[in-house]
Amino acid sequence: MLLSEVIGQEKLKQQLVQMVQHQRLSHAILFVGPEGSGALPLAVAFAQYIVSIPNNNESAGGDLFGAPEPTSPKVYSPEEIAELPAYHRASQLMHPDLHFSFPSITEKSGAKNLSSNFIEAWREFINGYPYGNVFDWLQSINAENKQGNISAEECNEIIKKLSFKSFESPYKVLVMWMPEYLGKEGNKLLKLIEEPPANTIFLLVANSEEQILPTILSRCQFIKVPRLTTHEIETALIQKGHVEPEKAAQIAAISDGNYREALHLLQHSDADFLTQIREWLNAILKGGPLAQMKWVEEISKIGREPQKQFLKYFNHLLEQSIRIKVLGSEIPLDPALKDFALRINKIASVGQLEAIVQELDKAVYHIERNANPKMLFMALGIKFYHIIQNKTLILTEA
């Protein structure tokens, strides 16, 4: 993966290349970015760039005790890197000086919990779904209900790998994804991160620095990866996903800077979520318990991922309703969505809408953790009824 293939983040790409050009490459860099921002593909592309630099540091002469100091390697542009033989190995994640560590599971009793056990699956994941999250990764290795982690055994393996001399690159690079999954065993790596072997680079990629061991944080250079812009996501959907511009614009507008979210919305873009929302609210506020139970029975059949997308779509509509209520009705919005927003604004205040948004956020969290959908949606309906209270809502077309 070339840096140019990473969506957006142009300033960070330039900064990373300049760090190499000016020989200001820190031995430990922590990329922190929210889900779908591209922190992982950015770090992987940078790692591939680093290890693809030819090793021109070999001594040109001198005896065993008087060899001259090695010279700095030539600096290559990302475009030049793509033409080098080493890049072809790096792009396939098979370069001998490029290493990875990530949350994994113990496959069977007595086996070691090591990233290397899942390296083939990891290559497929990075090449096919680099904007995925930990849930996606664990699902891809059939973790089921097992909790992934970066084990003490993995830390020992990292120490062992990085103790060897590099094979062909001037650098050895370790990309550790989700250091939040390191427990106290992460302290095994402190000395290695603080005083690594020569030309050893740690690239850590996290969603939030709050869950990382403070002792590791203090040893890293911090790079914040911002959310993608709506325009960047829209362009990526058109160019990479071959999505029609109108649909790409709509999906980008509700993805909240999260490219993973945009891909999931695209996957479920044919679902008529707006009609489902109308039916749900009418069942809650007008139909009574039997209508609610019938609706819940239907929504519980569609699967967890569509349920999550449905709730996030509902959340987006309520956020637009709040914007219209606060900023006025001139906000550009799809006519059907705008009609819904205006209707729901007639029966709920900003405070009530915000309360519903909070409940929807909680519901998404619980669905990701395998909550019973029937119980969850019934409970949500009851909460919405009490939030809106007994006001009448007409959500059918005028």
Question: For the residues 108-114, what does the mean pLDDT come to?
Answer: 83
- HSE-CB at 120 with a 13 A cutoff on CA atoms is 1
pLDDT at 304 over 60: yes
Q: Which residues contact 326 (CB under 8 A, 6 or more apart)?
A: 350
Where is pLDDT greater, at 264 or 206? Answer: 206
pLDDT at 324 over 50: yes
Q: How far apart are the first and last CA of the chain?
A: 51
Q: What percent of the chain has pLDDT over 70?
A: 90
pLDDT at 62 over 50: no
Coil, helix or strand at residue 358: helix
Where is pLDDT greater, at 76 or 167? Answer: 167
User: In the prediction, which pLDDT does 65 show?
Assistant: 42
Question: For the residues 100-125, what does the mean pLDDT come to?
Answer: 90
Q: How far apart are CA 290 and CA 296, in angstroms?
A: 10
Strand 172-177 to 200-206 pairing: parallel
User: In the prediction, which pLDDT does 331 show?
Assistant: 60
Nearest to 46 by CA among 88, 3, 12, 79: 3
Mean pLDDT, the chain, as a whole number? 85
Question: For the residues 87-96, what does the mean pLDDT come to?
Answer: 92
pLDDT-derived band at 270 (thresholds 50, 70, 90) equals low
pLDDT at 72 over 90: no
Question: For the residues 239-252, what does the mean pLDDT come to?
Answer: 85
Comparing 57-61, 154-158, 176-180, 336-340, which segment has the lowest mean pLDDT? 57-61
Helix residue ranges per DSSP H, the chain: 10-21, 39-52, 78-81, 85-91, 119-128, 134-140, 152-162, 190-194, 214-217, 230-239, 245-254, 259-267, 273-282, 289-299, 304-327, 335-345, 350-368, 373-388
CB–CB of 161/125 below 8 Å?
Answer: no
Comparing 6-15, 28-37, 215-224, 383-392, which segment has the lowest mean pLDDT? 383-392
- HSE-CB at 126 with a 13 A cutoff on CA atoms is 26
Question: For the residues 30-53, what does the mean pLDDT come to?
Answer: 94
Check residue 99 and report its DSSP letter. Answer: E
pLDDT-derived band at 188 (thresholds 50, 70, 90) equals confident
Residues 326-380 pLDDT 10s: 877 666 566 777 788 888 888 888 889 999 999 999 998 898 888 899 999 999 9
Q: Count Cβ atoms within 10 A of the Cβ of residue 353 and give its class: 0-12 exposed, 13-18 middle, 19 or more buried.
A: buried
Task: Give me the count of residues in the chain.
Answer: 398
pLDDT at 6 over 80: yes
Q: How far apart are CA 51 and CA 169, in angstroms?
A: 5
Most confident among 74-83, 221-230, 282-291 (mean pLDDT):
221-230
pLDDT at 13 over 50: yes
User: In the prediction, which pLDDT does 390 show?
Assistant: 55
Q: Buried (b) or exposed (e) across 31-57, using 16+ Cβ within 10 A?
A: bbbbbbbbbbbbbbbbbbbbbbbebee
User: In the prediction, which pLDDT does 222 show?
Assistant: 92
CB–CB of 347/393 below 8 Å?
Answer: yes
Q: How far apart are CA 175 and CA 201, in angstroms?
A: 9
Q: How far apart are CA 152 and CA 158, in angstroms?
A: 10
Q: How far apart are CA 284 and CA 278, in angstroms?
A: 10
